[in-house]
């Protein structure tokens, strides 16, 4: 990946995000804006690059836009919008999952209480839509409206996926079929919106927009399957930091759902109640023995191939095209 290009992009994204969040400010509202700036990693204890997260979604928008032949600056409102939507969902997720930490810092609800955290998430979502409207300054009104439709559809999918995720928490009778609709909503829909928005704002043909959409979608699914594997067999999950194992969190990930579908010792243990830290190693080995890891890896490989195939059909060009491919490979090969 060309570091000076992605560095330029990242800097411009932060600037567009700051400009968007500035709209929340006003007389007596400094703390309101600060809560959003805190969550985005700009302010408060522990602010900095790590607290900001990787900003993968806006990079996907801008690299797609440039790889489709446009000046990426035109897509900046869309890039900021998807990052704000992502962060809206994180603020609400953290409340819903009762998570005290996010990127190593106290979550918004931990700092300001649940009522203000709900409201901060609502504001973050609203700012996402407001910044997206800035597209109409540089694109035809029809394009801005299409962009709005794409982002809103992704938001609806997000809430649908979240509904399923919350519903599954209470259920022990899930099958593998339950997995894809949830992950489609929670991960793939927004990544698909990223690449589609990048292509749309580049004035790409409908066919090219579809190919980029497919790329983002499959990339999201592949990423999630790989993330699920790392959540059980990754270094952090297996060694020392067992608190990071998805088994402890009770997450209904792809290997776990595969394991449950086997109705063997793993399924029986899972249904008895929360997994303890000392069990994560043996249970991970048990899951691997029944083929859960191979199953998830196979799905990830298939989806990765599909994603790269769709990207190849989209025909990304130039330096940005190379950077886009590199970003995808980086996301899909996080063990290296």
Q: Which of 224, 296, 223, 226 is nearest to 259 (CA)?
A: 296
Helices (H) and strands (E) in the chain, counts: 18, 2
Q: Residue 13 in contact with residue 80, Cβ under 8 Å?
A: yes
Site for its own copies in 166-185 (CB under 8 A): 166-167, 178, 181
Nearest-approach distance from CB 191 to its own copies, in angstroms: 18
Element (H, E) at 101: strand 101-102
* DSSP label of 274: P
Residue 115 touches its own copies, criterion: CB under 8 A: yes
Residue 160 touches its own copies, criterion: CB under 8 A: yes
The burial class, CB within 10 Å (0-12 / 13-18 / 19+), for 7 is exposed
Q: Which of 6, 9, 58 is nearest to 193 (CA)?
A: 58
Nearest-approach distance from CB 109 to its own copies, in angstroms: 10
Nearer to its own copies, 118 or 249 (CB): 118
Query: From the list 11, 18, 163, 294, which residue makes contact with its own copies (rule: CB under 8 A)?
Result: 163
Residue 122 touches its own copies, criterion: CB under 8 A: yes
Residue 164 touches its own copies, criterion: CB under 8 A: yes
Query: From the list 1, 47, 130, 326, which residue makes contact with its own copies (rule: CB under 8 A)?
Result: 130
Residue 126 touches its own copies, criterion: CB under 8 A: yes
Nearest-approach distance from CB 82 to its own copies, in angstroms: 14
The burial class, CB within 10 Å (0-12 / 13-18 / 19+), for 75 is buried
Euclidean distance between CA atoms 18 and 76, whole angstroms: 12
Stretch that binds its own copies, among 88-96, 99-107, 204-212, 287-295 (CB under 8 A): 88-96
Site for its own copies in 26-85 (CB under 8 A): 26-29, 31-32
Element (H, E) at 94: helix 76-96
Which residues contribute to the site for its own copies (CB under 8 A)?
A: 23-24, 26-29, 31-32, 88, 92, 95-97, 114-116, 118-119, 121-123, 125-127, 129-130, 133, 136, 140-142, 144-145, 148-149, 152-153, 155-156, 158-160, 162-164, 166-167, 178, 181
């Amino acid at each position: 990946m060309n570091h000076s290009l992605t560095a330029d992009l990242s800097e411009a994204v932060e600037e567009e995000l700051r400009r968007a969040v500035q709209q929340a400010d006003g007389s007596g509202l400094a703390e309101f804006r600060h809560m959003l700036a805190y969550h985005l990693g700009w302010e408060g204890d522990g602010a900095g690059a790590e607290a900001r997260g990787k900003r993968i979604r806006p990079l996907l928008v801008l690299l797609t836009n440039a790889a489709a032949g446009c000046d990426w600056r035109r897509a900046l409102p869309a890039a900021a919008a998807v990052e704000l939507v992502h962060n809206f969902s994180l603020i609400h997720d953290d409340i819903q999952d009762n998570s005290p930490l996010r990127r190593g810092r106290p979550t918004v609800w931990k700092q300001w209480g649940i009522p203000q955290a709900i409201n901060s998430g609502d504001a973050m979502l609203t700012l996402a839509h407001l910044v997206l409207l800035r597209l109409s300054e540089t694109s035809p009104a029809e394009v801005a409206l299409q962009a709005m439709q794409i982002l809103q559809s992704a938001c609806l999918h997000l809430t649908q996926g979240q509904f399923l995720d919350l519903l599954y928490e209470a259920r022990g009778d899930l099958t593998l079929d339950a997995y894809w609709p949830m992950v489609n909503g929670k991960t793939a829909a927004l990544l698909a919106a990223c690449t589609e928005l990048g292509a749309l704002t580049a004035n790409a043909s409908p066919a090219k927009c579809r190919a980029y959409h497919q790329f983002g979608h499959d990339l999201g699914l592949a990423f999630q399957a790989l993330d699920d594997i790392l959540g059980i067999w990754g270094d952090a999950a297996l060694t020392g930091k067992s608190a990071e194992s998805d088994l402890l969190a009770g997450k209904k990930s792809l290997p776990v759902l595969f394991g449950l579908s086997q109705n063997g010792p793993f399924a029986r243990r899972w249904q008895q109640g929360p997994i303890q830290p000392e069990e994560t190693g043996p249970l991970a080995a048990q899951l691997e023995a029944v083929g859960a890891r191979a199953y998830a890896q196979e799905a990830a490989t298939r989806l990765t191939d599909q994603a790269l195939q769709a990207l190849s059909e989209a025909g990304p060009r130039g330096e940005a095209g190379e950077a886009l491919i590199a970003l995808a490979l980086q996301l899909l090969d996080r063990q290296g």
